[in-house]
């Protein structure tokens, strides 16, 4: 008889009302294997894993652990079977320390010995290469540290089958690298790992096998080494997809938002934005690039009126109205004036969406302040909801179905779609495609372009440099809260932006009020000059290297290429 699988699903189905979330899924996973679970938003990934973790119980089918049928009716049953799940929304108690959270709910014989707990946590951390301080309080932790606590929590309980639901959606590339190292150490230790992610490059990098779900059904499980991103996308979607972004030239760009000398400190007095200046034009997409935490979030929040501003000015110039200063206005007033912010936080339901309400209700929330105008009549939000549903293909039984029950990616579509549907004249978005499947991500990119063509000034904070370079007209690069330059996205290279992300050697003086526009234009010109200079230097270096190599008779032209590779590794 063949070796027993660590986990096996046989004919597993799960329905919510009329919706079939999982349909007769047959799937298995062996020991010492990392499996990626891939599928479009709403394809049933989280639901399937929740049945392994004891959150839901299947309507049909059986689950086998090590070849034996098991009944998993609660998270405790899951733990007893060696299964631990790290959910997308962490379930930690903020005022407790890491160690306290790790043992929370555990009843070991008698009282807990703090020192013993800390020692065991340290031992686990050492074994798999985690960075953790057992005595640190959760509220003092970064998202990545909190995630580490969640993982150690399940390891502490002896889990050897680990499920991670979109763990990298909220991590920086560096943190993702660290997590992947830990996962590899666990694999080497014989653990079975199921990883849900929408990022195909991660799938290719970390997993041994990939299981694909489509509309609740298991399409296939393939070896990662024998597939490609393109093939996986087609398996997920069910047909060939074009992953091209159309980028028309800006039409009649006019300055819409002129930021000058913007300085913002956080509640602890740490400078988050340092003398930032920019001009966002109607009819263009201005990308914002930077290493996570370089001030992207603070910049958009400051413009939206959500941050206390130490210094600076934000002039908003609507299409047919006189320019107005936004600093000092309330978030409501700014929204009403037509400056929209679709910011995707770590907790989607935390950002102005009410889980218990349907799409219509949530549309009203966004627009109630428009008051007596169009929105007294409830048909308007209904229409908006229908438009969002159609444009973004939101998977929901209806516009009044509670958004809390939608899949993660579909909640996000409602969030982004609502801001777009409010017909803003400045549309700012941060991390708009986080947690969205690849097909939907492209829908969002196309919607941004559509907005641009309508004359909207689109400000797009993104994480993927390839996408920024393909989608945007100009890219502003932030480094440690400062602007390190603005580049033409049609000409810039990834390497160049990577450099600007890590150094402000390219820094340009921020424009002053009054002369902002010309200064901003000068900034762009200067950035272009820099860029040309860089390109020239690079070409010269390459030529010099080639000459030297020739002299040595041995072709050694790799030097400049090596430098490029270094940069790629770093970004
Ligand atoms: N508690 C629930 N009540 C009703 N419907 C639900 C519930 N949980 C999930 N669903 C539905 O089941 C389907 C599958 O959802 P699931 O969350 O498993 O998708 P997913 O593949 O994890 O998607 P995403 O990539 O967006 O996270 C969706 O249509 C979703 O709306
Ligand atoms: Mg999910």
* Domains in the chain: boundaries: 7-237, 254-340+423-525, 356-407+415-421
pLDDT, tens digit, for every residue of 7-28?
A: 999 999 999 998 999 999 999 9
The percentage of the chain sitting over the pLDDT mark of 90, rounded to a whole number, equals: 51
Domains 7-237 and 254-340+423-525 share a fold: yes
Q: Per-residue pLDDT for 463 more than 90?
A: no
Give start and end residues of each alpha helix (H) in 337-437.
Answer: 359-367, 379-392, 408-421
Q: Which ligand is nearest to the CA of 395?
A: 1
pLDDT, tens digit, for every residue of 150-172?
A: 999 999 999 999 999 999 887 77
What is the structure's pLDDT at 107? 66
- Say how many Å lie between the CA of residue 407 and the centre of ligand 1: 4
Q: Which of 12, 43, 47 to mutate to test the pocket of ligand 1 (most atoms within 8 A of CB)?
A: 47
Q: Which ligand is nearest to the CA of 412?
A: 1
Local confidence band at 351 (pLDDT 50, 70, 90 cut-offs)? low
Which atom of ligand 1 is the closest one to the Cα of 395? 29
What is the structure's pLDDT at 560? 46
Task: Report how far residue 480's alpha carbon sits from residue 23's, in angstroms, rounded to the nearest whole number.
Answer: 48
- Say how many Å lie between the CA of residue 165 and the centre of ligand 2: 7
Beta-carbon neighbour count of residue 209 at 10 Å? 18
Sign (positive/negative) of CA torsion 191, 438, 167, 496?
positive
Local confidence band at 548 (pLDDT 50, 70, 90 cut-offs)? confident
Pairing of strands 339-343, 426-430: parallel
User: Nearest C-alpha to atom 25 of ligand 1 is from which residue?
Assistant: 41
The residues lining ligand 1, judged by C-beta closer than 6 Å to any ligand atom, are 16, 19, 21, 39, 41-47, 395, 405-410
What is the structure's pLDDT at 378? 61
| Structural element, H or E, at residue 315 | strand 311-316
Mean pLDDT of 474-489: 93
- Say how many Å lie between the CA of residue 26 and the centre of ligand 2: 19
- Say how many Å lie between the CA of residue 432 and the centre of ligand 2: 16
Which residue is listed with tokens 């689109």?
458
User: Nearest C-alpha to atom 31 of ligand 1 is from which residue?
Assistant: 406
Torsion, Cα of 135, 136, 139, 144 (10° steps) = -120
Q: CB–CB of 290/485 below 8 Å?
A: no
User: Nearest C-alpha to atom 7 of ligand 1 is from which residue?
Assistant: 405
- Say how many Å lie between the CA of residue 349 and the centre of ligand 2: 14
Beta-carbon neighbour count of residue 316 at 10 Å? 24
Q: Which ligand is nearest to the CA of 437?
A: 1
User: Nearest C-alpha to atom 20 of ligand 1 is from which residue?
Assistant: 42
Which atom of ligand 1 is the closest one to the Cα of 14? 12
Local confidence band at 319 (pLDDT 50, 70, 90 cut-offs)? confident
- Say how many Å lie between the CA of residue 402 and the centre of ligand 1: 12
Rg of the Cα trace of the chain? 25
Q: Does domain 7-237 have CATH number 2.160.20.10?
A: no
Q: Which of 9, 21, 436, 438 to mutate to test the pocket of ligand 1 (most atoms within 8 A of CB)?
A: 21
pLDDT, tens digit, for every residue of 253-298?
A: 889 999 999 999 988 899 999 999 999 999 999 999 998 889 999 9
Q: CB–CB of 293/301 below 8 Å?
A: no
Q: CB–CB of 480/504 below 8 Å?
A: yes
254-340+423-525: which CATH architecture?
A: 3-Layer(aba) Sandwich (3.40)
**Reported pTM:** 0.76
Q: Which of 15, 42, 57, 216 to mutate to test the pocket of ligand 1 (most atoms within 8 A of CB)?
A: 42
- Say how many Å lie between the CA of residue 443 and the centre of ligand 2: 19
Mean pLDDT of 391-411: 87
Q: How far is CA 278 from the centre of its chain?
A: 24
What is the structure's pLDDT at 169? 81
Task: Report how far residue 496's alpha carbon sits from residue 490's, in angstroms, rounded to the nearest whole number.
Answer: 13
Q: Which ligand is nearest to the CA of 411?
A: 1
């Amino acid at each position: 008889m063949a070796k027993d699988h660590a986990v096996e699903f046989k004919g597993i189905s799960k329905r919510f009302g009329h919706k079939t979330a999982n349909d007769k899924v047959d799937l298995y996973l062996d020991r010492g294997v990392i499996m990626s679970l891939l599928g479009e938003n709403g394809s049933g990934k989280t639901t399937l894993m929740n049945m392994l973790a004891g959150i839901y119980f299947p309507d049909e089918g059986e689950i086998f652990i090590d070849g034996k049928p098991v009944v998993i009716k609660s998270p405790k049953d899951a733990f007893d079977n060696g299964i631990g799940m790290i959910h997308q929304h962490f379930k930690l108690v903020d005022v407790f320390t890491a160690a306290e959270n790790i043992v929370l709910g555990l009843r070991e014989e008698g009282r807990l010995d703090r020192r013993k707990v800390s020692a065991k946590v340290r031992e686990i951390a050492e074994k798999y290469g985690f960075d953790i301080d057992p005595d640190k309080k959760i509220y003092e932790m970064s998202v990545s540290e909190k995630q580490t606590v969640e993982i150690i929590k399940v390891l502490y309980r002896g889990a050897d089958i680990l499920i991670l639901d979109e763990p990298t959606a909220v991590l920086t590339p560096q943190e993702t690298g660290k997590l992947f190292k830990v996962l590899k150490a666990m694999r080497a230790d014989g653990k079975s790992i199921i990883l849900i992610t929408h990022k195909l490059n991660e799938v290719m990098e970390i997993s041994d096998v990939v299981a694909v779900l489509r509309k609740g059904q298991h399409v296939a499980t393939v070896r990662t080494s024998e597939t490609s991103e393109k093939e996986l996308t087609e398996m997920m979607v069910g047909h060939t997809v074009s992953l091209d972004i159309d980028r028309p030239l800006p039409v009649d760009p006019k300055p819409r938002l002129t930021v000058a000398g913007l300085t913002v400190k956080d509640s602890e007095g740490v400078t988050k934005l340092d003398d930032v200046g920019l001009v966002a034009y109607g009819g263009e997409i201005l990308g914002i690039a930077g290493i996570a935490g370089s001030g992207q979030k603070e910049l958009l929040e400051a413009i939206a009126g959500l941050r206390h501003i130490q210094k600076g000015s934000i002039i908003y110039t609507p299409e047919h109205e006189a320019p107005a200063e936004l600093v000092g206005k309330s978030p409501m007033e700014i929204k009403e004036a037509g400056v929209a912010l679709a910011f995707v936080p770590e907790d989607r339901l935390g950002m102005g969406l009410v889980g218990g309400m349907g799409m219509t209700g949530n549309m009203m929330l966004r627009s109630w302040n428009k008051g007596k105008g169009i929105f007294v009549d409830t048909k308007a939000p209904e229409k908006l909801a229908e438009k969002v549903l159609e444009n973004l293909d939101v998977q929901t039984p209806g516009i009044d179905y509670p958004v809390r029950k939608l899949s993660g990616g579909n909640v996000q579509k409602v969030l982004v779609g609502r801001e777009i549907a409010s017909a803003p004249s400045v549309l700012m978005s941060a991390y708009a495609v986080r947690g969205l499947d690849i097909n939907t991500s492209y829908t969002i990119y196309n919607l941004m372009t559509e907005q641009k063509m309508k004359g909207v000034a689109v400000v797009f904070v993104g994480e993927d440099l390839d996408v920024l370079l393909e989608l945007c007209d100009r890219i502003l690069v932030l480094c440690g809260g400062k602007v390190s330059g603005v580049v033409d996205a049609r000409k810039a290279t990834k390497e160049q932006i990577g450099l600007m992300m890590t150094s402000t050697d390219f820094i340009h003086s921020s424009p002053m009020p009054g002369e902002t526009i010309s200064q901003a234009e000068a900034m762009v010109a200067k950035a272009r000059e820099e860029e040309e200079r860089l390109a020239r230097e690079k070409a010269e270096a390459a030529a010099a290297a080639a000459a030297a190599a020739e002299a040595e008779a041995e072709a050694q032209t790799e030097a400049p290429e090596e430098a490029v590779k270094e940069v790629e590794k770093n970004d």
